[in-house]
């Protein structure tokens, strides 16, 4: 066969050897990829993860074929150490994202910036963590077009590696409550002192028990985090806005019940204010004064 190719096609022995080596390299790498796809990647149940690994295996196979063919035909690598070093670097580049996600998974499991059941916000995504896997974690989305941090019904799958590049805000880790505020704007003509006392009664009725529970949790969380609040009891702050007097209720709240507690408090406010003739809600208005009639 060697003599036949040399005599009829003018192919030297060295050229024939290179062609044979090239063919073997291509066939072996393709067979290895097919076996990996069938025995390992094909058993992955998550469609997105399986697709990701199929693409990675394809890119890696093409890269290895190119490197081996360059070495066979051009002999540009002076030693095996250089050759395998380049292959290792190529593999590291090709598998960069999966490797980062795996390292991040270990970080999540060991350091526990969040765990399944926690409510978190990472980047623009917020929700309840419902699953943590080797390459990604999943959250049940809240917020977005839905008010008061309620669920949208969407499941968002986020690569684990994002914990190294984006800040993570936890609603529940170590401390199960968040501060919530409800602004109530009343007119300048209203009896704001009376209105403020009504709001203090309402917020104390609904928020005092949560504050007592939060105090015990803060003491426990302080063993791990530097968390300190001088005042945990509900409070009503007073300020002046363009259209009236702003009375802001501030109280501790379970993050998963924020909308329901807002509704209860607002219904109480509406009932109590409705019974008072000297308290009115404010809205954007324009006022005109006749200085001749009103000197103040």
Q: For residue range 234-270, what is the model confidence (pLDDT) as tens digits?
A: 899 999 998 899 999 998 888 888 888 899 999 999 9
Cβ proximity of 245 and 135 under 8 Å:
no
Same domain, 182 and 269: yes
Same domain for 88 and 30: yes
Same-domain pairing of 89 and 140: no
Residue 106 within a domain? no
Rounded-to-integer distance, Cα 249 and Cα 277, Å: 22
Are 202 and 140 in a shared domain? no
Residues 117 and 85 in one domain: no
Final residue of a structural domain among 63, 94, 125? 94
Residue 284 lies in a domain: no
The enclosing domain of 243 has a CATH number of 3.30.70.100
Same domain for 182 and 165: no
Residues 120 and 82 in one domain: no
Per-residue confidence at 58, pLDDT binned at 50, 70, 90?
A: confident
Whether residue 287 is contained in a domain is answered as no
| Residue-number span of the structural domain to which 25 is assigned | 2-94
Which of 42, 65, 94 marks a domain boundary? 94
165 and 198 housed in the same domain: no
Residue 183 has pLDDT above 90, yes or no: yes
For 133-153, write each residue's pLDDT tens digit: 888 899 999 888 887 778 888
> What is the reported pLDDT for 23?
86
Residues 164 and 198 in one domain: no
Residue at 105 is within a domain: no
**Pair (163, 202) in one structural domain:** no
CATH code at position 117: 2.30.30.60
Residue 293 resides in a domain? no
29, 61 Cβ separation under 8 angstroms: yes
pLDDT, residue 187, reads 92
The answer to whether residue 283 is domain-embedded is no
53 and 32 in a common domain = yes
Regarding whether 215 and 185 lie in a shared domain, the answer is: yes
Convert the pLDDT of each residue in 203-240 to its tens digit: 988 876 666 666 666 666 655 665 656 677 889 999 99
Question: Please, how many CA atoms are within 13 Å of residue 238, restricted to the half-sphere of its CB?
Answer: 12
Number of domains comprising the chain: 3
Task: Establish if 285 belongs to a structural domain.
Answer: no
| Boundary residue ending a domain (60, 94, 128) | 94
Give this prediction's pTM. Answer: 0.59
For residues 142 and 258, give the distance between their C-alpha atoms in angstroms, rounded to a whole number: 12
Count CB atoms within 10 A of the CB of residue 61.
18
Beta strands in 48-99 (DSSP E): none
Is 100 domain-assigned? Answer: no
């Amino acid at each position: 066969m060697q003599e036949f190719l040399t005599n009829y096609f003018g192919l030297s022995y060295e050229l024939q050897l290179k062609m044979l080596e090239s063919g073997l390299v291509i066939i072996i790498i393709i067979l290895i990829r097919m076996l990996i796809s069938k025995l390992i990647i094909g058993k992955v149940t998550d469609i997105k993860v399986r697709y990701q690994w199929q693409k990675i295996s394809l890119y890696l196979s093409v890269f290895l074929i190119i490197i081996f063919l360059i070495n066979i035909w051009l002999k540009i690598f002076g030693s095996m150490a250089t050759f395998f070093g380049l292959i290792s670097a190529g593999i590291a580049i090709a598998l960069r994202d999966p490797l980062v996600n795996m390292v991040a998974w270990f970080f999540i499991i060991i350091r526990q910036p969040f765990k399944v059941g926690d409510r978190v916000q990472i980047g623009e995504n917020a929700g309840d963590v419902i699953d943590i896997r080797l390459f990604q974690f999943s959250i049940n989305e809240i917020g977005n077009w839905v008010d008061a941090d309620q669920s949208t019904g969407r499941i968002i799958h986020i690569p684990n590696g994002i914990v190294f590049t984006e800040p993570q805000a936890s609603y529940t880790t170590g401390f199960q409550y968040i501060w919530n505020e409800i602004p109530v704007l009343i007119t300048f003509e209203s009896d704001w002192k009376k209105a403020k006392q009504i709001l203090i009664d309402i917020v104390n009725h609904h928020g005092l028990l949560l504050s007592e529970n939060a105090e015990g949790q803060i003491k426990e969380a302080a063993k791990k985090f530097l968390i300190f609040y001088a005042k945990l009891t509900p409070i009503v702050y007073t300020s002046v806005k363009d259209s009236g007097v702003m009375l802001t209720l501030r109280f501790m709240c379970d993050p998963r019940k924020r909308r329901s507690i807002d509704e209860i408090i607002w219904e109480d406010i509406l009932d109590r204010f409705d019974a008072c003739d000297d308290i009115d809600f404010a809205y954007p208005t324009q006022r005109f004064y006749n200085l001749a009639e009103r000197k103040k």
